Amino acid sequence: MTQSEMHGKICLVTGASSGIGKATATALAKQGATVVMICRDQRKGEAARSEIQESSGNASIALLLADLSSQASIHQLAQQCQAIYPQIHVLINNAGVALTRRSVTVDGIETTFAVNVLAPFLLSHLLLASLKAGASSRIINVASSIQRSLDFADLQQEKRYSGWQMYGQTKSALILLTYEFAKRLQGTGVTVNCLHPGFIATDLGRSASPVTRLLQRLFASSPEKGAATSIHLASSPEVEGITGKFFVKSQEARSSQETYDEAASLRLWDICVQLTGASAFLPADENIQNQ
């Protein structure tokens, strides 16, 4: 998609009120896309929307509210999106959290796993009909180079919690799911890719250790630089038809060896289905099959 081709394209961005999400929404708005900002806080979302409209000169910026730690809220969001946008061309699963202390969501699921893994898994499933209607369309998952092997015996770290380890596991999980989605969506016109945005100064680290926050202030890049690869995957004709890949600095790269474990991806897929009930929302056709 060239810049002119983004006019009329419906692009959803989660976590769009600040950081990489806001920078991504702004860049897509400047390219002429209709941008749907998915935010949790209405006040912050409205402020960001006004700012993006003013800086881009694009009035086609919408705001939808959702708490991505709640599966009920994700269902409500998907229903709203499909009612307003029967065709979706780009879904950027950007929202994420990094916590230092273990907490659980209203659904009883560890919060980092719920937001970083289950939310993009469920939202992508629920919006598949609109994404297929908008094909060729693109799902983009914001992952990380911080990748850790999944401990399936304690996936939600109930026994011993490490925020850093949990974050790395959830990003590995998101990459595994990206590759699995790509396989299952072959032939539908929907591509699925993921990326590492870089070491970026965002609100994600607000609960991080003082040392991490200091390093972020000293060495982190801007959210605009962090958004560059998301924007490339959302709009560039160079990636048309490319699916199931990991990108760094807008170039294909290798993710960790563990993320290519097909047995692990299938096991994780089944766990996510069990935790979300998403299998009921898989299109009943030959393109997406439970393996």
pLDDT tens, residue by residue, 266-286: 999 999 999 999 875 554 444
In a domain, 291, yes or no: no
- The CATH number covering residue 77 comes to 3.40.50.720
Q: Which domain holds residue 63?
A: 4-281
In a domain, 102, yes or no: yes
Residues 75 and 84: their CA atoms lie apart, in Å, by 14
Which pLDDT score is estimated for 291?
36
Which pLDDT score is estimated for 210?
56
Tokens of 41: 């806080």
Which pLDDT score is estimated for 282?
54
In a domain, 243, yes or no: yes
Which pLDDT score is estimated for 2?
45
In a domain, 286, yes or no: no
Which pLDDT score is estimated for 5?
73
Which residue in the list 85, 161, 167, 260 is annotated as catalytic? Answer: 167
Which pLDDT score is estimated for 286?
43
In a domain, 246, yes or no: yes
In a domain, 29, yes or no: yes
Which pLDDT score is estimated for 35?
98
Domain tally, the chain: 1
Q: Is 161 a catalytic site residue?
A: no
In a domain, 289, yes or no: no
**What HEC string does the chain produce?**
CCCHHHCCCEEEEECCCCHHHHHHHHHHHHCCCEEEEEECCHHHHHHHHHHHHHHHCCCCEEEEECCCCCHHHHHHHHHHHHHHCCCCCEEEECCCCCCCCCCECCCCCEHHHHHHHHHHHHHHHHCHHHHHHCCCEEEEEECCCCCCCCCHHHCCCCCCCCHHHHHHHHHHHHHHHHHHHHHHCCCCCEEEEEEECCCECCHHHHHCCHHHHHHHHHHCECHHHHHHHHHHHHHCHHHCCCCCCEEECCEEECCCHHHHCHHHHHHHHHHHHHHHCHHHHCCCCCCCCCC
Positions in the chain whose pLDDT score sits under 70: 1-4, 200-221, 280-291
In a domain, 129, yes or no: yes
